[in-house]
């Protein structure tokens, strides 16, 4: 537990003291209309060693009968009894600008009573989008990252054996319905924020010229495609993606009470407050000092921050925390006495409830 508090202190110190590093625009925003499409299909996995669906499953029986009929063999569904077949759902993602002949990875998951998909092979299955059009065909041997061994006295299982993957298991049959914009690009922020959107527009104007970009709202920035970029929209997108943007980071604390994990953002601050918790008293003060250069020196007057921390363990006396204190200072004081992470969680939640914590608290 103490190691977790030490890790927490290290993370907060790095967040507070380390220099801010700009992100690439491609990591902050996407292009409107350039998106992936979800594909889904229903199929059969065959070749299982008695670990398939129940032999009386009507879904498997009817599906096998339909498949055999397409292959030229007519069989009554009620006459089919097999434990080597499993009914599965296939999931894949059609990326933007996908072309016929390209391959996709697919995820295969059992939807019946199958015990394991190990050793099976997926029969050719059409993958459809919400429009019910077939965009790809999936087929191939499934790869299960585990095993299931059963015996008379018991069984042994490793990992999840009713879900599997087929690398490059789907073949694209029809190109993705993605078109490049012609008049303007709309940048969609992954995390909407007015400040970040304004910074993106300013960065684009610096490269392409004033008035080229304008933020529509917190989640979108419109970029006009000039005549010089006609028939070169892909090059324009590549130019924009390389721009460096410094996103505005909100003050946030993430708490996972199940594991006792606390992550504190570097922008978190405290208002004036008083804390008395379990006999532990922490006082954090901020006393800025002025550094004056000597006569005829080339330097300039600077304000040097100076933080004082006073820790006392007694009968739970109420002590004040000045408004200049930061969560980094509080974490350092608590860590010096080996406070458990769950105690830190309780203190942070109480500060937030009192309105003294300048941050959003997300409890997982």
Question: pLDDT at position 215, please?
Answer: 93
Q: Which of 245, 269, 287 is the last residue of a domain?
A: 245
Tens digits of residue pLDDT in 302-353? 777 776 767 666 655 555 556 655 666 666 655 655 566 667 777 777 777 8
Claim to verify: residue 256 and residue 357 sit in the same structural domain: yes
Tell me the pairing of strands 220-224 and 86-94. Answer: unpaired
Question: pLDDT at position 18, please?
Answer: 44
Claim to verify: residue 299 and residue 320 sit in the same structural domain: yes
Res. 95: pLDDT tops 90: yes
Instruction: Give start and end residues of each alpha helix (H) in 152-280.
Output: 194-208, 233-241
Res. 154: pLDDT tops 80: no
Claim to verify: residue 139 and residue 255 sit in the same structural domain: no
Please count the structural domains in the chain. 3
Instruction: Work out the average pLDDT over 275-302.
Output: 68
Structure-token pair, residue 165: 């993957």
Structure-token pair, residue 200: 């993106």
Q: Which of 1-10, 134-143, 284-293 has the lowest mean pLDDT?
A: 1-10
What percentage of the chain carries pLDDT values higher than 90? Answer: 34
Question: pLDDT at position 8, please?
Answer: 47
- Rounded Cα distance between 54 and 142, Å, is 20
Of 63 and 336, the one with more pLDDT? 63
Instruction: Work out the average pLDDT over 74-88.
Output: 83
Q: How confident is the model at residue 5 (pLDDT cuts 50, 70, 90)?
A: very low
Q: Which of 94-98, 198-202, 213-217, 348-352 has the lowest mean pLDDT?
A: 348-352
What percentage of the chain carries pLDDT values higher than 70? Answer: 75
Claim to verify: residue 133 and residue 168 sit in the same structural domain: yes
Q: How confident is the model at residue 288 (pLDDT cuts 50, 70, 90)?
A: confident
- Count of CA atoms in the C-beta half-sphere (13 A) of 260: 12
- Rounded Cα distance between 229 and 181, Å, is 12
Structure-token pair, residue 292: 């004056």
Say which DSSP state 250 is in. Answer: P
* CATH number where 28 lies: 3.30.1360.40
Claim to verify: residue 49 and residue 165 sit in the same structural domain: yes
Claim to verify: residue 138 and residue 196 sit in the same structural domain: no
Of 364 and 155, the one with more pLDDT? 364
Claim to verify: residue 155 and residue 57 sit in the same structural domain: yes
Question: What sign results for the dihedral spanned by CA atoms 113, 114, 116, 117?
Answer: negative
Claim to verify: residue 188 and residue 311 sit in the same structural domain: no
Claim to verify: residue 153 and residue 193 sit in the same structural domain: no
State which H helix or E strand residue 263 sits in: strand 261-264
Give the domain range for residue 81.
37-172
Closest CA to 89 of 125, 141, 41: 41
Res. 196: pLDDT tops 60: yes
Tens digits of residue pLDDT in 289-305? 777 777 766 667 777 77
Closest CA to 30 of 178, 248, 175: 178
Claim to verify: residue 258 and residue 312 sit in the same structural domain: yes
Query: Which residues are registered as beta bridge partners of 89?
Result: 42, 109
Res. 255: pLDDT tops 50: yes
Structure-token pair, residue 179: 């078109």
- Rounded Cα distance between 310 and 330, Å, is 10
Query: CB neighbours of 131 closer than 8 A, spacing ≥ 6?
Result: none
CB–CB of 264/5 below 8 Å?
A: no
Q: How confident is the model at residue 109 (pLDDT cuts 50, 70, 90)?
A: very high
- Rounded Cα distance between 202 and 199, Å, is 5
Question: pLDDT at position 2, please?
Answer: 45
Claim to verify: residue 162 and residue 188 sit in the same structural domain: no
Most confident option among 48-57, 115-124, 158-167: 115-124
State which H helix or E strand residue 23 sits in: strand 23-24
Of 231 and 171, the one with more pLDDT? 171
Q: What is the mean pLDDT of the chain?
A: 80
Claim to verify: residue 27 and residue 82 sit in the same structural domain: no
- Rounded Cα distance between 154 and 345, Å, is 43
Q: Which of 123, 148, 172 is the last residue of a domain?
A: 172
Q: Which of 230, 245, 260 is the last residue of a domain?
A: 245
């Amino acid at each position: 537990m103490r190691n977790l508090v030490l890790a927490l202190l290290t993370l907060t110190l790095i967040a507070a003291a380390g220099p801010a590093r700009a992100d690439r625009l491609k990591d902050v925003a996407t292009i409107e209309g350039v998106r992936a499409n979800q594909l889904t299909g229903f199929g059969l996995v065959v070749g299982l060693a008695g670990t398939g669906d129940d032999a009386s499953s009507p879904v498997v029986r009817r599906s096998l009968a339909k498949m055999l009929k397409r292959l030229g063999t007519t069989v009554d569904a009620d006459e089919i009894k097999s434990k080597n077949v499993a009914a599965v759902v296939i999931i894949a993602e059609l990326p933007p600008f996908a072309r016929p002949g390209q391959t996709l990875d697919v995820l295969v998951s059992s939807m019946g009573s199958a015990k394991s998909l190990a050793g099976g092979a997926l029969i050719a299955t059409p993958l459809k989008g919400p429009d019910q059009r077939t965009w790809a065909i999936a087929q191939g041997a499934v790869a299960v990252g585990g095993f299931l061994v059963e015996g008379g006295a018991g069984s042994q299982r490793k990992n999840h054996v009713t879900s599997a993957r087929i690398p490059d298991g789907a073949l694209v049959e029809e190109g993705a319905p993605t078109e490049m914009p012609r008049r303007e690009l709309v940048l969609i922020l992954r995390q909407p924020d007015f400040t970040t959107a304004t910074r993106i527009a300013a960065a684009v104007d610096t490269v392409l010229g004033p008035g080229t970009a304008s933020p529509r709202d917190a989640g979108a920035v419109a970029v006009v495609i000039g005549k010089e970029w006609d028939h070169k929209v892909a090059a324009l997108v590549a130019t924009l993606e390389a721009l460096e943007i410094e996103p505005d980071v909100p003050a946030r604390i993430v708490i996972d009470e199940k594991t006792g994990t606390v992550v504190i953002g570097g922008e978190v601050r405290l208002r004036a407050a008083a804390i008395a918790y379990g006999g532990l008293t922490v006082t954090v003060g901020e006393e800025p000092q002025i550094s004056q250069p000597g006569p005829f020196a080339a330097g300039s007057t600077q304000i040097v921050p100076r933080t004082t921390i006073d820790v006392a363990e007694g009968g739970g006396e109420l002590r004040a925390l000045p408004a200049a204190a930061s969560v980094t200072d509080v974490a350092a004081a608590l860590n010096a006495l080996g406070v458990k992470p769950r105690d830190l969680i309780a203190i942070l939640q109480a500060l937030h409830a009192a309105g003294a914590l300048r941050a959003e608290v997300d409890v997982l």
